[in-house]
Amino acid sequence: MKATKHAGVRGTLGLILGVAIAAVLTPAIGLAQGIPATAWNPTGSFSYDNGLAPSVAVSGIAIVEVHEGNTGTLWYHTGKIQEDGTVSWASSAFNYDNGYQPSVAITGNTVIEVRQAATGMGPLWYHTGKINANGTVTWASSSFKYDNGVLPSVAVAGQTIVEVHQAGAAVGPLWYHTGEIQTGGAVTWESSSFSYDNGIRPSVAVAGSTILEVHQAASGVGDLYYHAGEIQAGGTVVWNGSAFLYDTGLLPSVAASGPAFYEVHQGGKGAGPLWYHTGGIQNDGTVVFTPSAFQYDDGAAPRIAVAGPTILEVHQGGTASNGPLWYHTAAY
């Protein structure tokens, strides 16, 4: 049985301010209020694999990407970020498990992946692994059930895991579940997950003790909301009492690095314009978004990760079940 918790965080987190940031600004320059300038690779995106529902994580220069293949197989693909911001990918991907809608995060050289066991509402499973010196991943021999739901997203800060998911297939309660990565790589999950909002398609990022989650309010193109929270010493989360509107679109994904965060989403249904939005987490816990999003590519199902000054985004080229997957890099 899932329980419900709601609490406030540092007063109102809904401050939506900032200065518009164009995609051509010089990388690695922070603007006022902690909002970063972002420069996307002007040559566009590059194909690195084929599949569906990609997710990506970065630790230093090491990349671990996961995606669906055919008939519910799950594959991982590794790479390294080069000095010029491009990615050197391994020559092939490798099957590591079975499932749907995977999400991946990295802390140090530890990888944690979460996913659905089936195409709809049902068990959620996690799988851990270690990044080797040669860039491959040694996965634990088994994956384990940790909850029930659909469309999970995972983030990690230090040894603390924060996972969010939908309770069911339709718009409704969103739940979070926290856990702790142990020395040997095993995960100790809290005994229950807790409801924090309502919506669909949640994505979560963690920066220090601050959590930033984004989601759709409805099943179609429409309002996108963010919800902020703070991780407590015991692993619980104190969420702001409300979520706040920041944009419109579909399939949002969020990543954070220090006080800066980066969000990407589809502009409409199917393959088409992909948009990014930047912002900053303030010292008092408020969240500042730029007033506008900017197009950076075309495709579907974007997912974003960030490490140091490098942003890495992956997406489907179209809606085909096992079509090209593309990556796009940026700097801030």
Taking the chain (332 residues) in runs of 10, the rounded mean pLDDT of each run is: 35 30 29 62 89 95 94 95 88 96 95 95 96 92 96 95 94 96 89 95 93 94 94 88 93 92 94 93 80 94 91 92 92 82
222: exposed, middle or buried (Cβ count in 10 Å: 0-12, 13-18, 19+): exposed
Q: State residue 35's pLDDT score.
A: 61
Any idea where the domains of the chain sit in the sequence?
3-331
**Beta carbons within 8 Å of 294's beta carbon, 6+ residues apart:** 21, 22, 23, 275, 276, 277
Question: What's the pTM value of the predicted model, to 2 decimals?
Answer: 0.88
Type of residue numbered 14: G
136: exposed, middle or buried (Cβ count in 10 Å: 0-12, 13-18, 19+): middle
Please list the helix, strand and coil fractions of the chain in percent, rounded to the nearest 5, in that order.
0, 60, 35
Cα 327 to Cα 314: distance, rounded to the nearest angstrom: 4
- How many C-beta atoms surround the C-beta of residue 83 within 10 A? 6
Q: State residue 19's pLDDT score.
A: 26
> 312 and 296 in contact (C-beta within 8 Å)?
no
Q: State residue 184's pLDDT score.
A: 80
Options 3.40.50, 3.90.460, 2.120.10, 1.20.950; CATH of 3-331:
2.120.10
Q: State residue 286's pLDDT score.
A: 73
**Beta carbons within 8 Å of 223's beta carbon, 6+ residues apart:** 216, 217, 245, 247, 248
Backbone angles phi, psi at 70, to 5 degrees: -85, 150
Q: State residue 36's pLDDT score.
A: 65
